[in-house]
């Protein structure tokens, strides 16, 4: 057992898969000798060499085009898009190419690849480098969408993503890179589409993803200590596949549902979950589903304004407290 930062867990997860399978390759902008702009891939180039770990030109289309070609011809590439915002530059591959290969070839080809990308706000990168875009990806049939919140989940879910037969978008939250957690020794492999109950409770269900998970946990502790509200917190970890059974079971127990979403409110992932719960568990609800989100605005450049628009612990506490009466 070792304590690793989230960023070190990324390097460990990639190294585990490179060591295990010779068909795994890794490439992106500045990921090799420089170790990545967030220093999440330090040491991989020295360990595995230039044939397995490669730097690419500043061309997101070229990176994902190379990944797709490699995946269709027997490799299992891990491609990095430096900031998730840049997925807009190469969205044709994400929306029109990767997810359609298996279907349009009648199963003759697969596209087993992983696109790693740094997602989310809180690190002062401004409106064009701080978006939380997991809701963009989850709407596309054929993609799997993962967003871990802890170092151990980074390693385990990355392994599951690399070994999956279909394309996976793997969101790493840039404001979590410095956080630490215990990671067991040896090989770690997790399962896509499985949520984790990170705090059991009986009065309300709080769903969160990535950076919002530690905030939801802190809010739940404050709700218990100061207001006598016992909230269950679920780390979704994966949006596609979505662990609907874990969500529905929790709502059946608590009777109330709150989502804590970093994405803008309009068409956020919580809206889809609210729809599912309203369809399948309406009679288990004792009150309305409440979404706690970022407003539908570009993220402000000013530090204090960026902090205000993101869901915060005080806002989560106040919203849950007032909603439960």
| Catalytic residue positions, numbered | 129
What is the rounded distance in angstroms from the CA atom of residue 32 to the CA atom of residue 35?
5
Are the CB atoms for 146 and 171 separated by under 8 Å? yes
Cα 51 to Cα 21, 44, 299, distances in angstroms: 14, 11, 39
Helices (H), the chain: 6-20, 44-48, 60-72, 91-92, 101-104, 134-138, 151-163, 212-227, 244-254, 269-280, 303-309, 313-324
**How wide is the angle at C-alpha 8 spanned by C-alphas 6 and 12, nearest 5°?**
115
Are the CB atoms for 259 and 247 separated by under 8 Å? no
Closest CA to 192 of 213, 166, 161: 161
Q: What is the phi/psi pair of residue 63, to 5°?
A: -60, -50
Closest CA to 231 of 204, 198, 258: 204
What is the rounded distance in angstroms from the CA atom of residue 192 to the CA atom of residue 241?
7
Contacts 24+ apart (CB under 8 A), 217-225: 218/313, 219/260, 219/313, 219/316, 219/317, 219/320, 222/313, 222/317, 223/317, 223/320, 223/321
What is the rounded distance in angstroms from the CA atom of residue 49 to the CA atom of residue 16?
15
State the burial class of residue 104 (Cβ atoms within 10 Å of its Cβ: 0-12, 13-18, 19+): exposed
């Amino acid at each position: 057992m070792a304590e690793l930062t989230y960023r070190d867990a990324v390097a460990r997860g990639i190294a585990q898969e490179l060591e295990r399978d010779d068909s795994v390759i890794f490439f992106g902008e500045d990921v090799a000798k420089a170790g990545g702009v967030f220093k999440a891939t330090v040491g991989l180039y020295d360990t595995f060499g230039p044939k397995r770990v490669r730097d690419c030109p500043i061309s997101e289309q070229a990176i994902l085009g190379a990944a797709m070609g490699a995946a269709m011809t027997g490799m299992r590439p891990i491609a990095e898009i430096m900031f998730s915002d840049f997925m807009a530059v190469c969205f044709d591959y994400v929306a029109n190419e990767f997810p359609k290969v298996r279907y349009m070839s009648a199963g003759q080809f697969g596209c087993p690849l992983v696109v790693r990308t740094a997602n989310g706000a809180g690190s002062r990168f401004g409106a064009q480098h701080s978006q939380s875009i997991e809701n963009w990806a989850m709407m596309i049939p054929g993609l799997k969408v993962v967003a871990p919140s802890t170092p151990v989940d980074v390693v385990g879910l990355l392994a599951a993503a690399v070994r999956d037969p279909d394309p996976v978008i793997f969101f790493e939250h840039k404001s979590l890179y410095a956080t630490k957690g215990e990671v067991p020794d040896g090989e770690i492999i997790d399962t896509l589409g499985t949520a984790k109950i990170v705090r059991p409770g009986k009065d309300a269900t709080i769903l969160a993803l990535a950076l919002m998970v530690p905030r939801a946990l802190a809010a739940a502790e404050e709700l218990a200590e100061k207001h006598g509200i016992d909230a269950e917190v679920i780390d979704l970890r994966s949006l596609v596949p979505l662990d609907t059974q874990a969500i529905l079971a929790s709502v059946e127990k608590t009777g109330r549902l709150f989502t804590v979403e970093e994405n803008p409110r309009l068409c956020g992932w919580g809206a889809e979950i609210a729809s599912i719960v309203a369809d399948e568990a309406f009679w288990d609800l004792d009150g309305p589903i409440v979404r706690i989100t970022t407003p539908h605005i570009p993220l402000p450049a000013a530090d204090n304004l960026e902090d205000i628009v993101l869901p915060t612990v005080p806002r989560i506490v106040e919203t849950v407290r007032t909603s439960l009466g």
